[in-house]
Every structure is written in C-alpha cells, then in structure tokens.
Amino acid sequence: MSDASRHPEPSRPPVPRPAVVGVDACRSGWVAVTLRGGAFAGAETAGGLSDLLARVGDVAVVAVDMPLGLPRSGRRRAEELAAERLGAHRSRVFPVPPREVWEQPGYDAANACCRRLTGAGLSRQSWGLAAKLREANACRDGGDHRLHEVHPEVSFAAMRDGEPVGWSKKGWNGQAVRRRLLEGQGIVLPDDLGPAGRVPSDDVLDAAAAAWSAHRVALGTAMSLPAPPEVSDTGLPIAIWY
C-alpha cells in the first residue's frame, strides 16, 4: 500500500459561493438581481430600497446604481473618471452636485443652489432621482455598509476590456449586446423573471450588471473610480466600483 493510500489528503472545504445583489432604480421603485457564486439566482422588486434589502436577505454585497456619498462642496472625482472611461458616451454619466443641492424642497430651489455652489445648473432629469438618491444614502449612512455604488455602463465597458457599448440600452440592439456580455460572464437571465419581468428590460440589465460588479467586490477583485476612493464627510467611501 502506498503512503498516499495510508495517509489520504484531508478533504478541502467547499469554495465559498457568496450571494450578492445588484440594484437599479425603476419607475415602480427598485429592481434587484441576485447572484450566487456569480450565477443568476433570482430577481425581486420593491417600492422602497429598505424593503428590497430586507427581501433579499443576508447577502455579502449590495451594488446600487445610485450616487453614494455626497460632498459638501465641489464635484466628485467618480463621475469625472467614469465619463472619461465612456468617452464619446460620457453623457450617460451625470455630474453629482453637493449635498446641499439634494436637500432642497423642489427643483427650482435645487437648480438655484446648484448654480450658486458649482456655477452650473441642475437638469430636471437629475433632480428626478432626488428621492431615490436620498433613500440610498440614508440606507448606507444608517449603517448598511454592504452598499457599494456602481455605474452599469462602466461595468459593461469593463466586460468588453474597457470598450463602452455603443448601442443605447433602450433599443433592441443595445439590449442584445448587454445580455450577451452578461452571459459571457456566466450571468444568464431567464426569459421569465416572474413579477420582476414587469420592470423595463434596461433596468433589469442594469441591475444584473450591478450584480456582476457586486460579485467582484465580494471576491476582492473589483476596481474603483477613483482608486483609492474619496471619503465623504460621514467617513464613507465615494467611488464607482466595477
């Protein structure tokens, strides 16, 4: 009998399969895609982010397509660097003004505040995110440090070795390209998502791209813009992860 037979190697523990979630805002609230071991494991929707986080349970990382960390003054480096990454498609990144702008009671006051603090106005489209932006930051500032900021277009570009997707995510071609990119990373979205399938397709794809980045964060292989991250006045990182 060989030594190997007399002394078999101890069995190795199973490789961890971290569960992570990617979240995107949608008209009805929020949509989440869960990955386990990097593969699709489910999709959920909820009207509020806190409700959604409770529904997905105990996961390692939650990546959300929403600015996290608002400066007291000036602009964030994260958006500047993300816009550089997207090149000709830099308009897919909107500049995030200081915290005081988001604390205003309405668009007119926010726009005036933004002009005073930055020298530029605030688009109505950006202001339309105000309620969800406040909600996401309240969750993280309130202690849910699983939350990491992502930008789906930066994530999709990373899946293509840094080349942004040219087609808009709203159209057939753009959605087909993004779905193939996800499949190339082992994330196969089923044709039937149940109730989550009522959410517009581009929001689901963005949530899945966010989940891809969340998985990389969980594995310790993600990168950030900037690197190292800036730090907010609450002591938390300001960065886009991918």
Q: pLDDT by residue (tens digit) across 201-211?
A: 999 999 999 99
Which of the four pLDDT bands, split at 50, 70 and 90, describes residue 13? low
- Structural domain boundaries enclosing 35: 17-96+131-241
Above 60 in pLDDT, residue 232? yes
pLDDT, one tens digit per residue, over 88-141 is 999 999 999 999 999 999 999 999 999 999 999 999 999 999 999 999 999 999
Quote the CA–CA distance of 149 and 69 in Å, as a whole number: 9
Q: Does 111 map to a domain?
A: no
Tokens standing for residue 165: 């997707």
Domain annotation covers residue 124: no
Give me the amino acid identity at 111: N
Residue 12 lies in a domain: no
CATH of the domain at 42: 3.30.420
Question: pTM for this structure?
Answer: 0.91
Q: Is 24 domain-assigned? A: yes
Q: Encoding tokens for residue 34? A: 């869960």
- 122 lies in some domain: no
Q: What is the pLDDT of residue 74?
A: 87
Higher local confidence (pLDDT), 73 or 16? 73
Classify residue 123: in a domain, yes or no.
no
Q: How confident is the model at residue 8 (pLDDT cuts 50, 70, 90)?
A: low
Residue 103 located in a structural domain: no
More reliable by pLDDT, 177 or 17: 177
pLDDT at 203: 98
> Residue 40: its pLDDT value, please?
98
Residue 112 lies in a domain: no
What are the pLDDT digits (tens) for 70-103?
988 888 999 999 999 999 999 999 999 999 999 9
Q: What mean pLDDT comes out for the span 157-172?
A: 97
**How many domains is the chain partitioned into structurally?**
1
Per-residue pLDDT at 14 exceeds 70: no
By the 8 A CB rule, do 12 and 189 touch? no
Amino acid sitting at position 178: R
Measured between alpha carbons, how far is 13 from 102 in angstroms, rounded to an integer? 48
Confidence of residue 6 (pLDDT cuts 50, 70, 90): low
SS3 160: coil
Distances, alpha carbon 32 to alpha carbons 22, 39, 82, 119, in Å: 5, 14, 23, 36
Q: What is the C-alpha separation between 190 and 198, in angstroms, rounded?
A: 13
